């Protein structure tokens, strides 16, 4: 069963401002609400940035981030400069050599799943069991060292725990504490994290099942 989540950012003690809505599985929504209560005891809050996605949206995001990030890592951005739509980006991609197409496709899939409704490996967000979240305090996003949807190594869920790493600009110690707070709060409510993205968590879908060594209880769904 699906439930819509009205997402708010607290502004002061009593005032709340509506931001956007997202759809999640009922059990996932309950866990998110419990996580928020847990974080509030520590003076923080939780903002949901994304939940269920349609296959159309998932494909649009795949090609959008292909152009925005992935092709730059392969010095291919000039081939995509004039591509503004999903169709344009896909056509530019199809003109690449088979070897380069495979490399860029797999690199992009690290951060944006290819859209599929196949019951054995559906796109995580299309199951309603994947959620993108961010740590908030007093109605403002906390500094986690990277922007949301950043597609580089420092966006990894465990990057801040590495002995050899680049220090975050600003208050590195506070940023690391913020990241740990978010990670442990979500894990405490039975979510599993996705290694390359500190904001992405799963429950009940195939990614979650892989980490826990269990069978998935969610597959592709439409609200």
User: Tell me: the pLDDT tens digits for 51-72?
Assistant: 999 999 999 999 999 999 899 9
pLDDT higher than 60, residue 123: yes
pLDDT above 60 for 18 = no
pLDDT tens-digit series, residues 175-221 = 999 999 999 999 999 999 999 999 999 999 999 999 999 999 999 99
Q: Give the mean pLDDT of 12-36.
A: 73
If you average pLDDT over residues 28-39, what whole number do you get? Answer: 95
Whether residues 99 and 205 share a domain: the answer is no
pLDDT at 9 over 60: no
Interval 2-7 mean pLDDT: 44
pLDDT computed for residue 5 by the predictor = 46
| 86 within a domain of the structure (yes/no) | yes
Q: Are residues 149 and 96 in the same domain?
A: no
| Single pTM value for the model | 0.87
Mean pLDDT of the chain, nearest integer: 90
pLDDT score recorded for residue 223: 77
pLDDT at 2 over 80: no
Structural domain count, the chain = 2
Same-domain status, 45 and 150: yes
Q: In this structure, are 49 and 60 located in the same domain?
A: no
Query: Quick one: 48 and 60 in the same domain?
Result: no
Q: How many percent of the chain have pLDDT more than 90?
A: 84
The answer to the question of residue 77 being in a domain is yes
In a domain, 75, yes or no: yes
Q: Are residues 133 and 202 in the same domain?
A: yes
Q: What is the pLDDT of residue 121?
A: 87
- Note the pLDDT of residue 174: 98
Q: 8 - beta bridge partners?
A: 18
Question: 64: closest CA among 38, 42, 90, 98?
Answer: 90
Domain extent at residue 15: 2-27+41-53+129-155+162-212
**Percentage of the chain with pLDDT > 70?**
91
Is residue 16 predicted with pLDDT exceeding 80? no
- pLDDT category at 22 given cuts 50, 70, 90 is confident
> According to the model, what pLDDT value does residue 145 have?
97
Buried b (16+ CB within 10 A) or exposed e, 146-166: bebbbbeeebbbebbeeeeee
45 and 149, same structural domain? Answer: yes
Cα→Cα distances 204→16, 78, 109, Å: 30, 41, 20
- Please report the pLDDT score of residue 20 as a whole number: 64
Question: Has residue 219 been placed in a domain?
Answer: no
Whether residue 103 is found in the same domain as residue 188: no
Q: Are 139 and 190 found together in one domain?
A: yes
Check whether residue 149 and residue 203 sit in a common domain: yes
Q: Calculate mean pLDDT across residues 8-27.
A: 55
220 belongs to a structural domain = no
């Amino acid at each position: 069963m699906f439930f819509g989540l009205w997402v708010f950012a607290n502004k002061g003690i009593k005032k709340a401002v509506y931001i956007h809505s997202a759809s999640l599985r009922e059990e996932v929504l309950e866990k998110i609400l419990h996580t928020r209560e847990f974080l509030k005891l520590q003076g923080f809050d939780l903002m949901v940035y994304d939940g269920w996605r349609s296959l159309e949206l998932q494909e649009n995001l795949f090609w959008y981030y292909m152009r925005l990030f992935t092709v730059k890592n392969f010095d291919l951005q000039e081939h995509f400069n004039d591509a503004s739509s999903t169709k344009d980006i896909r056509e530019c991609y199809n003109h690449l050599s088979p070897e380069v197409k495979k490399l860029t496709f797999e690199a992009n899939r690290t951060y944006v799943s290819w859209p599929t409704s196949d019951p054995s490996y559906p796109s995580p967000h299309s199951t309603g069991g994947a959620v993108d979240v961010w740590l908030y305090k007093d109605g403002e996003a906390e500094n986690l060292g990277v922007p949301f949807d950043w597609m580089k190594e420092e966006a990894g869920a465990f990057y801040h725990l590495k002995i050899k790493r680049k220090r975050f600009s600003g208050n590195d110690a506070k940023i690391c504490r913020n990241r740990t707070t978010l990670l442990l709060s979500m894990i405490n409510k039975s979510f599993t994290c996705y290694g390359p993205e500190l904001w992405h968590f799963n429950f009940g879908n195939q990614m979650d099942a892989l980490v826990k060594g269990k069978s998935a209880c969610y597959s592709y769904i439409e609200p």
